[in-house]
């Protein structure tokens, strides 16, 4: 008898009561009128009279333990079900939310189009870190320490020694590309850049940029001009005109600003182009020999050109957007306008 009580006690403790079906089986097997505990009480009459009191007490303890296990599992199952119902509850008085598909961001659309245009003429895509050191962002690009040109690209420094900073252009990728590879090199470098500027309709402290680099023997300014002529016509239309204005950049010599004919007035003059008929889209020039030498490329053998453009500026021109801040405000009314754009 004692062995049977111990066996049933072990079964009760080992029972897995994780669902309603298992709980019901437990009730029938141990607590019900035809269960194992009821059968043990029926067998109590066969126990010797002097042991019947002790065995009866053990049976009562076994019955109480079985009932306690059943009650605990039942309460836990009820709480779990109530929590699931509350989690899945739906307020049918609320207006329906339609299942709508989103759209790609206009900057992503234009970036992808820029990549496609340059890939067709042999450029691949290179990438690099947004957190950069002084050498790759400034010094290797002919920006020596305390050079006044650094004031044009004030940025955000991440350490007191001012050696870690958020890159101000994707030219750092050009440096890393030239340090780790030998010519010929032909790549574009799209990515996010940062500058410490006041946010307005025409400027932001974070924006997208795409730069290009071509280094080989015999590369000339004519190659640069023809490359950018091709890009402008593919991006803005075959009627687009392009011009180069002399300028200064520490990392190119000679250097030029890149203008295209205004897409609004077709070069006639309007408030968008300030009556000039031209809109600036970026800068370009021949890679300075010092930059090539800094990157372990022999400037007496190789030459190259580089260019850089703001993707926001190109997007604003292409889609006639007049406020740069719209790109980062996440206003769905603005973004939905590009749903049909591929």
Binding residues for Mg(2+): 253
What residue ranges in 73-232 does DSSP mark as E strands?
124-125, 131-133, 164-166, 185-194, 206-216
Rounded alpha-carbon distances, angstroms, from residue 286 to 216, 250, 254, 299 = 12, 11, 6, 12
DSSP 8-state code for residue 337:
G
Annotated binding site: 253
Rounded alpha-carbon distances, angstroms, from residue 12 to 2, 16, 58, 94, 118 = 15, 9, 14, 48, 74
Closest CA to 12 of 77, 71, 78, 70: 70
* 190 bridge partner residues: 210
Closest CA to 282 of 312, 239, 320, 250: 312
- Strand pairing category for 252-261 and 278-287: antiparallel
Burial class of residue 167 in the structure, from the number of CB atoms within 10 Å of its CB (0-12 exposed, 13-18 middle, 19+ buried): buried
Q: What is the DSSP string of 224-286?
A: HHHHHHHHHHHHH-TT--EEEEEEEETTEEEEEEEEEE-TTTTTS--TTTTTSSEEEEEEEEE
* 306 bridge partner residues: 213, 285
- Rounded CA-CA distance 75/5 in Å is 26
């Amino acid at each position: 008898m004692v062995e049977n009580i111990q066996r049933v006690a072990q079964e009760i403790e080992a029972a897995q009561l994780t669902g309603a079906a298992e709980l019901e089986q437990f009730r029938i097997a141990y607590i019900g009128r035809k269960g194992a505990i009821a059968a043990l009480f029926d067998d109590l009459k066969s126990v010797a009279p002097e042991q019947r009191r002790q065995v009866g007490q053990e049976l009562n303890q076994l019955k109480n333990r079985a009932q306690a296990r059943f009650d605990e599992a039942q309460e836990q199952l009820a709480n779990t079900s109530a929590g699931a119902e509350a989690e899945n509850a739906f307020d049918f008085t609320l207006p329906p939310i339609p299942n709508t598909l989103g759209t790609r961001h206009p900057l992503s659309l234009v970036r992808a189009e820029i990549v496609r245009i340059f890939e067709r003429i042999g450029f691949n895509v290179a990438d690099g870190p947004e957190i950069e050191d002084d050498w790759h962002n400034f010094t290797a690009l002919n920006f020596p320490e305390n050079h006044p040109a650094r004031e044009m690209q004030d940025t955000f420094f991440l350490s007191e020694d001012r050696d870690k900073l958020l890159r101000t252009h994707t030219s750092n990728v050009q440096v890393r590309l030239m340090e780790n590879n030998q010519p010929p090199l032909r790549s574009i470098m799209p990515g996010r850049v940062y500058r410490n500027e006041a946010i307005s309709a025409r400027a932001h402290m974070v924006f997208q940029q795409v730069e290009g680099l071509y280094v080989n023997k015999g590369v000339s300014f004519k190659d640069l001009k023809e490359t950018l002529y091709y890009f402008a016509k593919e991006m803005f239309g075959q009627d687009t005109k392009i011009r180069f204005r002399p300028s200064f950049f520490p990392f190119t010599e000679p250097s030029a600003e890149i203008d295209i004919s205004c897409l609004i007035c077709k070069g006639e003059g309007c408030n968008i182009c300030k009556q000039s008929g031209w809109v600036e889209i970026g800068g370009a020039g021949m890679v300075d020999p010092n930059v090539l030498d800094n990157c372990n490329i022999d400037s007496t053998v190789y030459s190259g050109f580089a260019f850089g453009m703001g993707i926001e500026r190109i997007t604003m021109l292409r889609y006639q957007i007049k406020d740069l801040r719209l790109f980062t405000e996440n206003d769905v009314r603005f973004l939905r306008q590009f749903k049909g754009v591929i």
